Amino acid sequence: MMITGLAPLASLGADGAATVAPLAQAGGVSFEEALGNVLGSAIGTLKAGETAAIEGIEGAASPMKVVDSVMEAQRSLQTVLAIRDKIVSAWQEISHLAI
């Protein structure tokens, strides 16, 4: 799962230092919106996998459809867990910075 539509937010100034462009000038989406889109998509995928599994138990869906849906839901869950782990790790690093 890829996050698309994120415009580069940093550019080099005249002195060679990185400057951060305001979001309105960059024309991209905010981190909150991008994360919300990824999580919303993951939740939808998990629900679809659950629905396919129930249909498979009832005999209404083919085994191939059930396996595909469950595997896609597993990939989405692993992606969300990896994002969560990175956010927790970043928070821990920030909290240990000296003031």
> What domain count does the chain have?
1
6 part of a folded domain: no
Which domain covers residue 46, as residue numbers?
29-95
Whether 54 is in a domain gets the answer yes
**Structural domain contains residue 14:** no
Q: For 61-96, how does the pLDDT look when each residue is reduced to its tens digit (9 = 90+)?
A: 999 999 999 999 999 999 999 999 999 999 999 999
The model's pLDDT over 13-64, given as tens digits with 9 standing for 90+, comes to 555 554 544 544 556 889 889 889 999 999 999 999 999 999 999 999 999 9
Residue 17 lies in a domain: no
d(CA 54, CA 65): 12
Place of tokens 């849906």: 69
